[in-house]
Amino acid sequence: SAVISQKPSRDICQRGTSLTIQCQVDSQVTMMFWYRQQPGQSLTLIATANQGSEATYESGFVIDKFPISRPNLTFSTLTVSNMSPEDSSIYLCSVSRGGVAETQYFGPGTRLLVL
């Protein structure tokens, strides 16, 4: 298994500002992902965080809005830039050890409210 922590656990931000969310894993993992869960909806994949290279973004998500870093195999950050109320969501990171059909482990999530 993998134990994942996220910081902050929640935040309230003003529109136009940016927030960086951290994801820390207790062991080295191959794959790290960032998801968004908007109110009342299921999860949507934002991007795959690649160690040592640019993240791979899903359709509808761009690097300028959601810059991602992954400096090593246990840590990643997601920044939500120039926030608007529509960015109010739960942001979750997840990890897996790679390969087909491996269990994914999810962080506790960061609850973001943008005013």
Q: Which residues bind other proteins (CB under 8 A)?
A: 31, 33, 37, 41-45, 48, 56, 58, 90, 92, 94, 96, 98-106, 108-109, 111
Long-range contact set of residues 58-63: C-beta below 8 Å, sequence gap at least 24? none
Q: Which amino acid is at 86?
A: E
Nearer to other proteins, 17 or 44 (CB): 44
Q: How far is the CB of 103 from other proteins (least distance, A)?
A: 5
Where does residue 106 rank: exposed (0-12), middle (13-18), buried (19+ CB within 10 A)?
middle
Q: How far is the CB of 77 from other proteins (least distance, A)?
A: 20
Q: How far is the CB of 67 from other proteins (least distance, A)?
A: 19
CA atoms of 46 and 71, how far apart (whole Å): 18
